Amino acid sequence: MTRAYNFNAGPAALPLEVLQRAQEELVDYNGIGMSIMEISHRSREYERVNEETQQLFRELLEIPEGYKVLFLQGGASMQFAMVPMNLLRPGTTAAYVDTGSWAKKALAEAKLLGEVQVVASSKDDQYTTIPDLSSLELSEQTAYLHITSNETIGGIQYKSFPDTGDVPLIADMSSDILSRPLDVSRFGLIYAGAQKNLGPSGVTVVIIREDLIQPAEHLPTMLRYSTHADNNSLYNTPPVYSIYMMNLVLQWIKENGGLAAMEKRNEEKAKLIYDVIDGSGGFYRGVAKPEYRSPMNITFRMANEELEKRFVEESQAAGFVGLKGHRSVGGLRASTYNAVPYESCQALQQFMLDFQKRHG
Ligand code: PMP
């Protein structure tokens, strides 16, 4: 069996052990003579998957009392709308930090629904930095502050989080959730599409502080957090298989030492590649300013687009997948989420060194 060196940005690599276990359990889950996809979401078996997966989130993230873990659909993009729908009331303003592509998408959606203020932006740095939020003043009318903990396209990451006092801090953690330890108590709400660090696409995780779950009866039922919280994420048919896969990924994280171990390994993996960039004498140029570099999405450029195209082609021929930068910004990107093996990063390091020898 040959597994590709998978650096896809999302959907992205899954741990081989998880895929193999899913394969083993596919046609006969736990001796029931069927797959988990073929039974009711109200069955004992699925209820156990639902409960256990929530529990694994609580354990890995050390989620304090007073928070709910919800499994929703519609991707992180749906949360761009659900957050303001549920939390941005008339007379209040939503504060957003603009750090690039995904932050902009989130705030554009909120603008459709209410009053939005961009309170900080790294636009003047071409989105290569995270703005300093240490002296941020938020007015009393601020419904929440929204940040994007890791910009998947730009390759920048928050290394610390702002203190927002009584204003709920809300974070889109789609591309770095469970990649490092986190103090959940600092946040009012965290959301993440699963298809990078958690599992396959189809499920979005929302971790929400209970006081932010309002009845919101003016909203369609499916768009209220209260609906899903009141029904233990079983109001309607959930994406059973995605949640089952996520369960296996969380077990894999636990077995592999939890979030501290993930962080250490992710730093080591990313260092392999950033070291090549920094030691290349300008042949490779990192996009992000070093102090904001993401260990999840490593973005870099080369002297010209011709050379970048060459890099993509030769890397593909050598068994690497997903190294082309996002179509909106070009360049190159290696996504090195939790499940990307150290060996894949070592292979990429060697490929980059060899490529420079051939073309430098
Ligand atoms: N936020 C971030 C940071 C992302 O990386 C992505 C997906 N690449 C999204 C939001 C959108 O996620 P989805 O496709 O699940 O709607």
pLDDT value at 270 more than 80: yes
Measured by CA distance, the residue closest to atom 3 of ligand 1 is: 174
State percent of the chain over pLDDT 90: 99
- Alpha-carbon distance of 197 to 339, in angstroms, equals 7
Instruction: Tell me the pLDDT of the chain averaged across its residues.
Output: 97
Question: Among the atoms of ligand 1, which is closest to the Cα of residue 194?
Answer: 15
Q: Please list the residue range(s) of the chain that carry CATH number 3.90.1150.10.
A: 258-359
Tell me: the pLDDT tens digits for 177-224?
999 999 999 999 999 999 999 999 999 999 999 999 999 999 999 999
- Residue 102 designated active-site: yes
User: Does 175 contact ligand 1 (Cβ within 6 A)?
Assistant: yes
Q: Is 135 annotated as a binding residue?
A: no
Can you give the pLDDT at residue 115?
Answer: 97
User: What phi, psi does 264 have (nearest 5°)?
Assistant: -60, -45
Summarize the confidence of residues 21-29 as an average pLDDT: 97
Q: Domain spanning 258-359: which superfamily? A: Aspartate Aminotransferase, domain 1 (3.90.1150.10)
Annotated active-site residue in 102, 176, 269, 324:
102
Residue among 68, 104, 176, 196 flagged as catalytic: 196
- 8 Å CB contact between 336 and 296: yes
Q: Does the beta carbon of 100 sit less than 6 angstroms from any atom of ligand 1? A: no
pLDDT at res. 219: 97
Beta bridge partners of 206: 70, 191
Q: Tell me, what's the pLDDT at 320?
A: 98
- Which of these is catalytic: 68, 172, 176, 269? 172
What's the rounded mean pLDDT across residues 127-131? 98
Q: What is the per-residue pLDDT across 58-71, written as a single tens digit (0 to 9) for each?
A: 999 999 999 999 99
Q: What share of the chain is helix, strand, coil (3-state, %, to 5)?
A: 40, 15, 40
Q: Is 335 in the pocket of ligand 1 (CB under 6 A)?
A: no
Which pair of structure tokens corresponds to residue 287?
A: 């996009």
How far apart (Å, rounded) are the C-alpha atoms in residues 257 and 57? 14
- Active-site annotation holds for 166: no
* pLDDT score at 271: 98
* 172 marked among binding-site residues: yes
pLDDT at 2: 86
Note the pLDDT tens digit of each residue in 295-322: 999 999 999 999 999 999 999 999 999 9
- What does the alpha-carbon distance between residue 207 and residue 331 come to, in Å, rounded to a whole number? 34
Q: What angle do CA 359, 155, 319 make, to 5 degrees?
A: 45
Averaged pLDDT, 30-56 = 97
Intra-chain end-to-end CA distance of the chain, in Å: 34
* Ligand 1 pocket member 232 (CB < 6 A): no
Mean pLDDT of 321-338: 97
The yes-or-no answer on residue 196 being catalytic is: yes
Q: Are 87 and 75 in contact (CB under 8 A)?
A: no
Report d(CA 160, CA 182) in Å as an integer.
10
Residue 62 phi/psi, 5-degree rounding, is: 45, 50
Query: Can you tell me the mean pLDDT for 245-254?
Result: 98
Q: Say how far apart CA 175 and CA 10 lie, in whole Å.
A: 9
pLDDT at residue number 85? 98
pLDDT tens, position by position, 271-280: 999 999 999 9
Across 164-171, average pLDDT: 97
CATH 3.40.640.10 assigned to domain 16-255? The reply is yes
The reported pLDDT for the residue numbered 1 is 76
Mean pLDDT along residues 118-134? 97
75 lines ligand 1 (CB under 6 A): yes
Residue 7 — pLDDT band, cuts 50, 70, 90? very high
pLDDT at 356 over 80: yes
Share of the chain above pLDDT 70, in %: 100
Average pLDDT estimate for 70-75: 98
Domain with CATH 3.40.640.10 in the chain: 16-255
Q: What is the pTM of this model?
A: 0.98
Q: 289, 125 in Cβ contact below 8 A?
A: yes
Does ligand 1 come within 6 angstroms of the Cβ of 67? no
Tell me what the mean pLDDT of segment 326-330 comes to: 94
Strand, helix or coil for residue 158: coil
